[in-house]
Amino acid sequence: MEISPDNIILWQSGIVKLNATILYTWLVMIILVGGSWLVTRQLSVQPKLSRRQHLLEIIVDAIADQIRDASRQEPSQFLPFIGTLFIFVATCNLLTLFPIYESPAGSLSTTTALALCVFVAVPLYGIKNRGVGGYLKHFLQPSPFMLPFQLISEISRTLSLAVRLFGNIMSGSMLVAILLSIVPLLFPMVMRAFGLLIGVIQAYVFAILAMVYIASGMRAQKSS
Amino acid sequence: MSDISLIGMMSIFTAGLSIGLGAIGPAIGEGLALANAMRALAQQPDKANTITRTLFVGMALIESTAIYCFVVSMILIFANPFWNYVLDRSGG
C-alpha cells in the first residue's frame, strides 16, 4: 500500500520521474483551464444565459459571498487567489469518484506547494494594503520580544495548513483501501461518498483559513 | 530479541498508541464544540449560516490535531525511517 501518490511512478527517464501526483495535477489543470476557456467564450449579459455561464456564475458568486463573510471586505481583490485555491482543491478531491484516479491533494508535496502560496500571499496582500513599514511593524506588536513567536506562528500555520489537507485526504483514500481488503462489498462505496463530503469540506476550510490568515495580516496593522 | 523485531514491535505499538491517545482529546473538543453550536442554533435560528460555517471551520481545526496523530501513526507503519534503515542494512 502506498502512503502517497508520489510513490506511484508511471514513467522514468534518468532522474526525471513522472509520478501519479504530477500526472493527475496536470489532468485537473487541463479540466479547469479547458472548462473555464469553454465557458468564457460567449459571455453575455442578456437575460437568457447559457447553462455553462450560469454554472460558473453560481460558483463565483458563492465564493465571493463566502469571502465577504469571512473577511468583511470587498471580495474582488481576493477572489482570484482564494477562488483558485478552492476550485483546485475541490476538483482534485471530487475527481476521486473515478476508479484509478488518486487525488493530488493526498500528496504532501502538492499541499505544501499550496500552503507556500498562502505563505507568500499573506505578506503580499499585507504590503499591498498597508505598505512595507506598516506590514513589518505588526511583527513587533504588542512588544518586540514577541518577534520570534510571531515568526514561528507564521511558519507553523503554513505547516499545519499543509499537513491538515494531506492528512485528511490521505486518511480518506487509505481507509477506502483498507476497507476494500476487508469488506469489498458496498461498505467502501459509503466511505467513498463520505470521502467526497470530507474533500469538499477540506477545500472549503483550506480556502477560508487562507482568507482568514490574509485578512489577519491586513487587519493587524489597521489598529497600529 | 533481535533489533529488527524490536523496531517492528515498537513501531506498531507506538502507532496504535498515538492514534488511540490522539483521538481522545479531539473527540472531547468536537463534542463540546458541537454541543455549544447546537445551543447557539436553538437560541438564534436566524444566525444558522454563520454558526454552521464557524462550526465547520472550528471542527476542522480541532480535527487537525487528530489528523497529525494519524499521519504520525501512518508514517510509523508504512514509511518508518528506522525500519527502512534496518531493511537496507540487512539486505546489503
Partners of A11 in beta bridges: A18
Cell of B89: 542494512
DSSP letter for each residue of A24-80: HHHHHHHHHHHHHHHHGGG---SSS--HHHHHHHHHHHHHHHHHHHHHSS-GGGTHH
Looking at residue A220, its pLDDT comes to 53
Q: How far is the C-alpha of A35 from the C-alpha of A95, rounded, in Å?
A: 14
Terminal-residue alpha carbon distance, chain B: 21
pLDDT in tens, A59-110: 999 999 988 888 878 888 899 999 999 999 999 999 988 878 888 888 889 9
CATH number of the domain within which B37 lies: 1.20.20.10
Q: How far is the C-alpha of A182 from the C-alpha of A178, rounded, in Å?
A: 7
Give me the tens of pLDDT residue by residue for chain B, a chain 92 residues long.
677 888 888 999 999 999 999 999 999 999 999 999 999 999 999 988 888 888 888 888 888 888 889 888 888 888 888 888 887 887 75
Number of domains in chain B: 1
Residue to test with chain B: of A164, A171, A174, most B Cβ within 10 A: A164
Return the CA Rg of chain A: 20
A3, A204, A208 member nearest B74 (Cβ) = A3
pLDDT band at A130 (very low <50, low <70, confident <90, very high): confident
A109 has a chain B CB within 8 A of its CB: no
